[in-house]
Structure 1
Amino acid sequence: MQGFAGVMWLLNVALIVFSGFALFDAAIRREDAYRAVGKQTKPFWLIILALAFVVSLVFPILSFLPIIGLIAVIVYIVDVRPAIRSISGGRRGPRRGSSSDGPYGPYNGGR
């Protein structure tokens, strides 16, 4: 029985970390990016993800509330976050041009 309790504790810690990451990520994104991609508003996602984080802290993973919170976190990570990153430009997004780029690539000033 101790092995099962250890596995459930690890799952609970993983859920807390996962929901905390989603909440932090939602907090640092621009508010207008949520509207631009046609998703719910930033306050909506902050409230949902904060509730998921608090529920994962308070209730054990065998309860149904953390499972509902996990579903909300997965929806944010899989659907909303990539859409927002494509608008606001993530670190791994497509290469953005600089101000010295011409229509066919970078302008080197005749070098």
Structure 2
Amino acid sequence: MLLAGFGSFIQLLYLGMLVLAVVAFVFAATAREDAYRAADKKKKSFWLIILGVSIAVNLYPIFLFLQLAGVVASIVFMVDVRPALKEVSGGSGGGRRGGSSSDGPYGPYNGGR
């Protein structure tokens, strides 16, 4: 019983690693090429190849260390490259979509007037 539960946990872990790689690949594919250069990151083709290999390794698990390397690459893309691409592309950094510095989440703050 315990072994079956552990097997289910491992399958969910593999599925999570695959989903992370696919989401990172989609974000990498939809970003503009010039945003990578403006953010001073590796080329778009580099990230597409790395994340594509990560997806392939997760679909056909051969060696665990290759899957772990793919997870690390996906995490690096999601926490370092993607925010930099959003910043130079004019994306909503931190949930802000333009406006002045006195704007709150529901519109401009007028100081209680």
Note whether the superposition's TM-score is higher than 0.5. yes
Structure 1 unaligned segments of length 5 or more: list them.
98-111
TM-score, with length taken from structure 1: 0.80
What code does the residue aligned with 2:87 have?
A: S
Identity %: 45
Distance in 1 separating the partners of 2:60 and 2:78: 22
What code does the residue aligned with 2:91 have?
A: G
Instruction: Tell whether 2:86 aligns with 1:85.
Output: yes
Q: How does 1:21-40 map to 2 (within 5 A)?
A: 21-40=23-42
Q: How does 1:3-82 map to 2 (within 5 A)?
A: 3-59=5-61, 63-82=64-83
Task: Deviation per CA, 1:44-103: give whole Å up to 9, x if none.
Answer: 00000000111011106x711100000000110010000000111224554336xxxxxx
Figure out how many residues of one structure are paired with residues of the other and give that number: 96
What code does the residue aligned with 1:27 have?
A: A
Structure 2 unaligned segments of length 5 or more: list them.
100-113
Distance in 1 separating the partners of 2:53 and 2:88: 26
TM-score, with length taken from structure 2: 0.79
Q: 4+ residue stretches of structure 1 with deviation over 4 A?
A: none
